Structure 1
Amino acid sequence: MAPTPKRRFKNPKHSSPSSYSSSLLQPLSSIQPPLTLLPSKTDLFNLLAVISIALSVAISCHYAVTLFNRQPKPFCNSDTESDYYYYYHSDNCDPCPSHGICSEGKLECMSGYRRYGRSCLEDGEINEMAKNLANMVESRACESYSEYLCKGVGRVWVQGDELWNNMDKDNTTYLYAKQKAMEIVSNLLETRHTSSGIMELKCPDLLVEHYKPLSCSIRLWLLEHALFLVPCCVLLMGFGLMLQRVRRRHYISVRAEELYEQVCDILEETALTSRSVSGESEPWIVASWLRDHILTPKERRDPLLWKKVEDLVQEDSRLDRYPKMLKGEPKVVWEWQVEGSLRSSGKKNKDNINKQKSREGSNLGLNQDLRRSKPAELLKC
């Protein structure tokens, strides 16, 4: 049996360095930690987000607790003028706001102002009360002045004490509103002081116009402009009368000519009729009968119109005017002179022309009817 070979161990001192390092690395590689032991990037981001949220919540809570637990600064005293620098430049107190009174660090607002936070603002109710009081005083003063201007009863200047004494009250708020109302009224109305020191109020002339009635305003305006209105009215009346006279003359002239034409036609027809019936009827007509026949009742009351017709008849040589006794009363009769008259021939020519026109019109209508009927007859054929 062959002997087993003996294993020889090398001396590490005599072994090579490379072989020695490889022998050492083999056990280290076998003890490395697993890869799942370290956190991933997503986990790191989530961790950072949680930490930031926690920090922000902690800081906010700390700020809120500090804010709520902090005591507000007291107000600086506003009693003396020697504390001016301390009053405005000190870090230990806040300056006293306007319209405020500060004492021992506390704030109280003046009359007419209310506290809003750490400031004093004007009270709206007091302002409204002051406006109402000012309007009341204004209306009383202006109504008194308007009554004086319209009726002569009221007064121009009204004493302010009489107006304010009726409104006096012991309320502090009311007294402050009254003081503000007096300032408003003094700027709105005219004021003066008497020798005894009493203040009087007067409504301005522009403002009192709004308190006058319309009838009073018209009457005062007429009185104020009377020197100008009277001559204008006289001129207008004169112009109106002159225009009326001109229109009346024109009307009488035109109407008299129309009546004159009617008179001539009636007298001519009467004369022709009397000659045609062999003198059985009179060729003349009483002038008064003819007047009452052709004039209307309203025109009979105007003697100037018939006088104008008589003048035209008198100027016409074809008409005769002479007196005549009828039933024991003297009458003036008018008669148309048939011999040598040109009116009848002219009238006949005018009648012939009218008849000819009427005939031509009838012929024209007949021709149009025939033209309209021809197409219908042709259609029948």
Structure 2
Amino acid sequence: MDSIPRKRPKSETKTPKRNPKSSPSPIRSLLEPSESFFPSKEEFARLLTVLLVACVVAFGCSFLANYLGSDTKSFCDSNLDSIESDLDLCEPCPINGECYQGELKCNNGYRKQGNLCIEDGEINESTKKLVGHFERKVCEAYAHNECYGTEEIWVPENDVWEDLRSNGFLDNLDEPAYNFVKAKAVEAVAELLEKRTNANGNNELKCPESLMESYKPVTCRIHQWLLQHIFIISSSCAMLVGCAILHRKIQRKRHFSSRVEELYDQVCDFLEENAVTSNSANSSSNCEPWVIASRLRDHLLFPRERRDPLLWSKVPVFLS
């Protein structure tokens, strides 16, 4: 009896069920990545920064390599002909520049830009100002001589240079640039203005007449125009005055004739009324049919018209 095994109760033999959400299976845990597998936001931002810096460095190195590679050639010496120099090993020296031992030096008035020598804008502007000062100084002197007779027609060149030095016109330029600007301005002035050498050996400048006219004051131009056309202006004024006087006379004559006719009508009307009045009066009345002319004149004429005896004298002529 003791050897018969005893049966376990159902509550002890039944295994409890597992919740799949609370405890995943080992296979699924191996297939799914862990939470630390993906980078965080801070790590992702640092990664983007590193990539951006790497791209910028790579682009800069590439640009620098291309720039240095394109400018590896030096310039050929200016004293060598193009046949003697090997163009595969050196660049030809550009115009307006001098090359020595592979280095380029631009001439005065030009500045280096890449492998070329271009005109210096500051130098050109200074040259234009210098030429403009010469033109204004010389042409104003000629214009004042033509208008007022106070200046000289031929202006000494040294006087203009002294005026430029006293005003500090080109103090901002160094000595080579000043000499270059001066030489270039002298060439331009020689083409623009007339030049001669006087008995003392000094150079003198004169403004062309066509250019001088633009430097005359407005009052001077009007005065000279009046003098040049004085005959035409005086003749025109005389004609205008004569026409005005003739028109005035014609107008006065018409007014005189119309006024005489008006007085004649008024005298006739007055005499007719006086005659009717005298005829219709009684025989005992002393009404005279005759009218005194002086009283009738003073009655009909205006005070200003009484000074003209010719006006009233025409009325009796019409009556007769």
TM norm structure 2: 0.66
**Gap change, CA 1:188 and 1:283, over 3 Å in 2:** farther
Taking the aligned partners of 2:182 and 2:237, their CA distance within structure 1 comes to 52
Q: Does 1:193 align with 2:174?
A: no
* Equivalent position of 2:77 in the other structure: 77
* Equivalent position of 1:140 in the other structure: 137
Q: Deviations over 1:273-321 (max 9, x none)?
A: 34444554554454444444433444445x2xx514422422422xxxx
Which deviates more, 114-123 or 148-157?
A: 148-157
Taking the aligned partners of 2:251 and 2:68, their CA distance within structure 1 comes to 101
Taking the aligned partners of 1:216 and 1:120, their CA distance within structure 2 comes to 48
Select the residue among 274, 277, 280 that pairs with 1:273.
277
* Equivalent position of 1:253 in the other structure: 257
2:264–2:319 Cα contact (<8 Å) kept: no
Amino acid across the alignment from 2:112: R
Select the residue among 171, 176, 180 that pairs with 2:180.
176
* Equivalent position of 2:97 in the other structure: 100
Taking the aligned partners of 1:191 and 1:146, their CA distance within structure 2 comes to 17
Amino acid across the alignment from 1:115: K
Taking the aligned partners of 1:285 and 1:189, their CA distance within structure 2 comes to 93
Q: Please tell me the root mean square deviation across aligned C-alpha atoms, in Å.
A: 3.2
Amino acid across the alignment from 1:76: C
TM-aligned CA deviation for residue 239 of structure 1: 3.2
Amino acid across the alignment from 1:294: L
Taking the aligned partners of 1:88 and 1:254, their CA distance within structure 2 comes to 111
2:110–2:120 Cα contact (<8 Å) kept: yes
Q: After the TM superposition, list the runs of 4 or more consecutive aligned residues in structure 1 that deviate by more than 6 angstroms.
A: 61-64
* Equivalent position of 2:301 in the other structure: 295
Select the residue among 222, 231, 236 that pairs with 1:232.
236
**Gap change, CA 1:177 and 1:71, over 3 Å in 2:** closer
Gaps of 5+ in 2: 1-60
TM-aligned CA deviation for residue 221 of structure 1: 0.7
Percent identity, please.
41
2:198–2:204 Cα contact (<8 Å) kept: yes
1:256–1:308 Cα contact (<8 Å) kept: yes
The number of aligned residues is: 252
Gaps of 5+ in 1: 1-60, 318-381
Amino acid across the alignment from 2:120: D
Decide which structure has the larger Cα Rg and report it. Answer: 1
* Equivalent position of 1:41 in the other structure: none
3-state SS of 2:91 partner: coil
Which deviates more, 170-179 or 148-157?
A: 170-179
2:154–2:206 Cα contact (<8 Å) kept: yes
TM-aligned CA deviation for residue 196 of structure 1: 3.8
**Gap change, CA 1:76 and 1:280, over 3 Å in 2:** farther
Higher relative contact order, chain-length normalized (CA < 8 Å, sep 6+)? 2
**Gap change, CA 1:297 and 1:65, over 3 Å in 2:** same
Amino acid across the alignment from 2:145: Y
Amino acid across the alignment from 1:155: E
TM-aligned CA deviation for residue 198 of structure 1: 3.1
Which deviates more, 158-167 or 202-211?
A: 202-211
TM norm structure 1: 0.56
